[in-house]
A and B are shown apart, each in its own frame.
Chain A
Amino acid sequence: MKMTFVALTLFVSSFAFAAQNFVFCMEGSPSSFNPQIVTDGVSMNSSAQTIFNRLVEFKYGSTEVGPGLAESWTIAADKKSFTFKLAKNVQFHSNANFKPTRPFNADDVVYTFKSQLDTKHPLSIPAANYEYFNAMDLGQIIADVVKVDDNTVTFKLKRPEAPFLANLAMDFASILSKEYAEHLIKSGKGLKALETAPIGTGPFIFKSYQKDSAVRYTANPQYFRGKPKIENLVYVIVQDPTVRLQKMKSGECHVMTQPQPQDLPQIAKLPNAKIVSIEGLNVAYVAFNAEKKPFTDAKVRQALSMAMNQKSYLDLIYQSQGTAAKNPIPPSMWSYNNSTKSHTYDVAKAKQLLTEAGYANGFETELWTMPVTRPYLPNGKKLGELIQADLAKIGVKVKLVTYDWPVYLEKSRKGEHQMIQMGWTGDNGDPDNFMNILLSCSSIKTGSNLARWCDKDFDALITKAKEDSNMAARTGYYQKAQLIFNEKKPWYAVAHAKANVVISDKVVGYKIDPFGHENFQSVDLK
């Protein structure tokens, strides 16, 4: 009996929190540690933001592009060539199988981009699709990457492309070591090892990954911006948001992602933690399929928009965690047009418009509701029910439909929907990333334009804005394009959701990021 008691005491008291570990609790597991081939935020945060650097980088907590591994850059007069001066004496990490013999130089940059550009490149990963590189259209934009000398690289473009610099700051453009890739091939391990044993220049060195459990890193003592203050960084995977919160409460997490909106009032009262928020770079919307009757008629789209009560959606679905949307881009993004009209809620006017369009008695239609929770839309089904009730008032009978997420994506890509909920989170802080991918004529083919709306004037404006690198001129084009969007209403823009992160009061120097990046290079524990 006594023995059991002693054992029990030992057992319970052995739980002590080692102070030098910084614990970040995230919502999912990384699929790979090679930022070139992953597409989800969790994998990007676990690789690009911790282990790697890029030529240019977004400043911590902002969408502004600043220097990274490149100290400075110049753009040629024809806007078709970008030359970068690289930082000197930046070292790559080493691991059990690899020790770099030289610092980072122009060869690494050329390799990083050429291997993604040309699948026949000897160091290109076999069967890799480089989804992000291609989604940003870089295969069509970059003509060549040329090493001028060890510390100078020139990118030659096929056409002027204003968002190019911002694209280079994105996670998939992280710089990998050419020497390491060659070593992997020579030693017979193959390029697959890039996914499980990453080597970068970043603030933290990858140590180990236990799938679905935790990723471990140690501080990089040779980091070119100075050694991080945290010695051991641990990313713990806790899928369930309720459990994540419990871990935060018990002090097992220092930072946790994606708290549920309904938990926020409770979190605000916690003695040992606080909420940090930022206007998210996102939008949630309901797209009207402009290829299908009756949504081919702008009047119908305007009528339906007028019958929807945006305020109730914000109050009930977002619970003060969202701002009312009227444009396709969020207010924190440059070129946001504040002079466009907000949604007017006017049931009588909506009915009148519908009558003018020839649907005095309304019609029957379908609304697809999001089957998954995304940062921009906490509850698709609830939103669907509210819209259903609103539209019933003008005689439009809405049937709510939903599918499993992969099916939802597949069917909507093909345009099988009538009305559909969807959303978008920005990648590079450029309006082109919203306007072009979600609303251009060419993206009807790729499936990301769910309104399947192709307006010649709108399209001409966003194409001009894409090619011009003059900021003022681009702003003008985008603002005009937003006016057209606002009038023609291919979507009902619902809201821009705030992003929230919960941090322990022991954490110092943490900034929340508009892209959802998590970077701990300058964070410390009290």
Chain B
Amino acid sequence: MSFSIIRLIPGDPVLHLIGERGASEETIAQIKKNLGLDKSVVEQYLIFTGNAVRGEFGESIVSKQPIIQEFKVFWPATFELAFFAILWSSIAGVILGIVAAVKRNSVWDYGAVSLSTIGFAMPVFWWALLVIFFFAVTLGLFPVSGRIGVEYDVPYRTGFFLIDSLFTEDKGAFFSALKHLVLPAFVLGTVSLALIVRVTRSAFIDIQKEDYIRTARAKGLKPAQVVFKHIFKNALPQILTALGLAFGQLLTGAIMTETIFSWPGLGRWLIKSIEARDYPAVQAGIFYSMLIIIIVNFLTDEAIKVVNPKLRESL
């Protein structure tokens, strides 16, 4: 799939490299030969699958660096961003969802639902610029873009700046990395917030109607006990499923967020590779993104089994 789609888009990577300048037929043929693009599509495909099985994706046409090398740098950036985005949006989303469900049809309910829907409907790039303008430029609380302050040169260890920065002598590096993370994670998280609020709310409302809840209430349990012990526990599988879905959505949202915040992650890398028709990079990028989504979905399924033993057989 990833092999054919990028090749179906018209446009030659070699001409993109050359730009307005133009070059003779011989030079272009030579470049193509060097890149292995002179072979037939079938041959290219066989080479691609052969290498992919061994986990090799070759070199980027643009940067001429091994793809795996680039990937190692970019995926932790996206993961770090997506992790914190999902962290805050799931905490906030679950709380808002519970409040909305418990105080159904009140100002709280309408407020929580409309707030999260607005967050969802707002174009990410515009929302990001708004957030930058207010929090970074007007208030000066956070940096505008980037992953860490320019004064810190963090050597690569894991690629996760929050971890790598702890290894540097200057402890300011960690705070700098954390501060750079706040705005992009906030913006990215608003995309999945709406989904989590709605799923939590509807799960709660459904479960509230169940017989065992009525029984629990009749037993004389305090409302808080009912909410957390009985309803929340039963709503958790649905919420976890939503989180798994939200993660996939986040990877898409990350493309916009990373571009605006100059966040050197997978999304931006993929977009730039598509623009330049960098075949090997796009193939690998799509392949790895799918792999991450599959792993995350697998993990959420496992987590659901842990929280709700009843579902172990059905999954």
Chain A residues in the interface with B (C-beta under 8 A): 10-12, 14-18, 21, 23, 29, 31-32, 39-40, 127, 129, 131, 134-135, 192, 195-196, 207-208, 210-214, 216, 234, 236-240, 242-243, 246-247, 249-250, 252, 403-407, 409-410, 413, 422-424, 437, 443, 445-448
Contact = CB atoms under 8 A, between A and B. Distances in A.
A409 B20 contact: yes
Interface in B117-167: 129, 132-133, 136-137, 140-147, 149-151, 153
Contact of A213 (B20, B70, B146): B146
B162 to A, nearest CB: 13
Interface string B276-287: 110000000000
A135 B129 contact: no
Interface stretch (B5-13, B92-100, B294-302): B5-13
Contacts of B25: 445
A240 B259 contact: yes
Interface of B: 9-13, 15-25, 27, 30-31, 34, 62-65, 70, 73-74, 129, 132-133, 136-137, 140-147, 149-151, 153, 172, 175-176, 178-179, 259-262, 264, 268-269, 272, 275-277
B19 A409 contact: yes
A410 B150 contact: no
B264 A32 contact: no
A322 to B, nearest CB: 18
Contacts of A413: 15, 22
B262 A406 contact: no
Contacts of B12: 406-407, 410
Given A11-B179, A213-B264, A243-B132, A39 B145 contact: no
A405 B275 contact: yes
B20 A212 contact: no
A32 B64 contact: yes
Contact of B172 (A14, A212, A407, A424): A14
Contacts of B133: 246
A164 B239 CA distance: 69
Nearest to B31: A129
A253 to B, nearest CB: 9
29 contacts: A10-B175, A11-B175, A14-B172, A127-B34, A129-B31, A131-B17, A131-B27, A211-B73, A212-B268, A212-B269, A212-B272, A213-B146, A213-B264, A214-B150, A236-B146, A238-B146, A243-B129, A243-B132, A246-B132, A246-B136, A247-B145, A252-B146, A407-B10, A410-B15, A422-B20, A424-B20, A446-B23, A446-B24, A448-B21
Contacts of A196: 65
Contact of A404 (B11, B20, B268, B272): B11
B178 A11 contact: yes
Nearest to B141: A12
B262 A448 contact: no
B145 A238 contact: yes
B179 A448 contact: no
Q: Which 10 A-B pairs have the closest CB atoms?
A: A448-B22, A406-B11, A212-B264, A18-B151, A406-B16, A14-B175, A447-B22, A127-B34, A407-B11, A213-B264
A444 B23 CA distance: 11
A135 B70 CA distance: 30
A443 B23 CA distance: 9
A409 B129 CA distance: 32
A16 B21 CA distance: 44
Contacts of A239: 259, 262, 268
Given A196-B65, A246-B129, A413-B22, 13 more contacts: A11-B175, A14-B176, A15-B175, A39-B18, A129-B34, A208-B153, A211-B74, A213-B264, A238-B146, A406-B276, A409-B16, A413-B15, A445-B24
A286 B136 CA distance: 42
Contacts of A403: 10-11
Given A212-B268, A448-B20, A246 B144 contact: yes
A404 B15 CA distance: 12
Select the residue from A210, A246, A410 with max chain B CB neighbours within 10 A. Answer: A210
Contacts of A32: 63-64
A454 to B, nearest CB: 15
A250 B21 contact: no
Nearest to A129: B31
A208 B150 CA distance: 12
Nearest to A408: B11
A243 B262 contact: yes
B144 A243 contact: yes
Contacts of A10: 175
Contacts of A423: 20
Select the residue from A32, A236, A243, A448 with max chain B CB neighbours within 10 A. Answer: A243
Given A195-B64, A243-B144, A446 B16 contact: no
Nearest to A249: B137
A368 B147 CA distance: 39
Given A18-B151, A407-B11, A252 B21 contact: no
A408 B144 CA distance: 34
A198 to B, nearest CB: 14
Contacts of A213: 146-147, 262, 264
A184 to B, nearest CB: 15
Contact of B151 (A21, A29, A447, A448): A21
A103 B212 CA distance: 86
A404 B10 contact: yes
Nearest to A11: B175
Select the residue from B70, B146, B176 with max chain A CB neighbours within 10 A. Answer: B146
B165 to A, nearest CB: 12
Nearest to A405: B16
Contacts of A23: 150
A219 to B, nearest CB: 15
Contact of B11 (A127, A247, A410): A410
A31 B63 contact: yes
A443 B261 CA distance: 42
B145 A443 contact: no
Contact of A240 (B16, B24, B260): B260
A154 to B, nearest CB: 28
A437 B150 CA distance: 41
Contacts of B30: 129
Contacts of A12: 141, 179
B10 A15 contact: no
Contacts of B23: 131, 134-135, 446-447
A208 to B, nearest CB: 6
B15 to A, nearest CB: 5
A448 B18 CA distance: 11
B21 A39 contact: yes
A254 B219 CA distance: 68
B17 A39 contact: yes
Contacts of A445: 24-25
Contact of B144 (A192, A210, A250): A250
Contacts of A31: 62-64
B245 to A, nearest CB: 28
Contacts of A192: 64
Contacts of A249: 137
Contacts of A18: 149-151
A210 B31 contact: no
Given A214-B146, A240-B262, A135 B21 contact: yes
